[in-house]
Amino acid sequence: MKIDVKNFEGKTVEEIELQDSVFGIEPNTYVMHQALIRQQANARLGTHKAKTRGEVKGTTAKWYRQKGTGRARHGDRKANIFIGGGQVHKPTPRDYTKNMPRKMRRLALRSALSAKAAADEVVVLDALAFDKPATQQVLELLDNLQIQGSAVILLPERDENVEKSARNLNDVKTLRANYLNIRDLLGYDYVIIPKGAVSLIEGFLG
């Protein structure tokens, strides 16, 4: 598929041919959803923990004698019905990691890129470079490109000036193209890709 290449002023300077195998396939929503769930699950630490009655601090001595008090039968005061006692059916540390074949993960990325491209939410720039960090430059770029909404900028390599310029904007994120992931693709309205990053993305997804 063909798409216009914009400059910093938002004007079309040329046209680029994007690989249909990456930006023009029929989106597989099932695989996209599965990949998103996997990424969210793998981000969980799983370190939640609550102590049982065998782990809380306290004596194991019987609270009062078994018979003759008129009260209910109890052992120690670490039972879950007492203040300071252990808890029942509470979370314990666990691993939430989910596995997914590489082909399915890449299919999910191609599907997300294709869905964005079909909705005219992929913007290709001829170049993106700043002399120094300046948030105002990113705001001007978004205004020139007429982007109304959030955007993720895919960089071909590390660029501290661009990354620092977008750091203060809540609706803008910079991401190196080789770290492309389904959560960021689906979590932002627009995808801004400099030409240098296009070839990188097509290289490992094509």
What is the count of structural domains for the chain? 1
How confident is the model at residue 113, as a pLDDT? 96
pLDDT per residue as tens digits for the range 110-152: 999 999 999 999 999 999 999 999 999 999 999 999 999 999 9
How confident is the model at residue 1, as a pLDDT? 86
Domain membership flag for residue 57: no
| Whether pLDDT at 206 is above 90 | no
Domain encompassing residue 170: 2-29+100-205
| Whether pLDDT at 51 is above 90 | yes
| Whether pLDDT at 175 is above 90 | yes
pLDDT per residue as tens digits for the range 60-119: 999 999 999 999 999 999 999 999 999 999 999 999 999 999 999 999 999 999 999 999
The percentage of residues in the chain with a pLDDT greater than 90, rounded to a whole number, is: 93
What rounded mean pLDDT belongs to the chain? 94
Rounded to an integer, what distance in angstroms lies between the CA atom of residue 18 and that of residue 124? Answer: 10
Do 53 and 79 contact (CB within 8 A), yes or no? yes
> The domain that contains 164 carries what CATH number?
3.40.1370.10
How confident is the model at residue 78, as a pLDDT? 94
Domain membership flag for residue 106: yes
Rounded to a whole number, what is the distance in angstroms from the first to the last CA of the chain? Answer: 14
User: 46 is written with which tokens?
Assistant: 């799983």
Its sign, for the CA torsion 30, 103, 37, 1, is negative
- pTM for the whole structure: 0.84
What single-letter amino acid sits at 39? Answer: Q
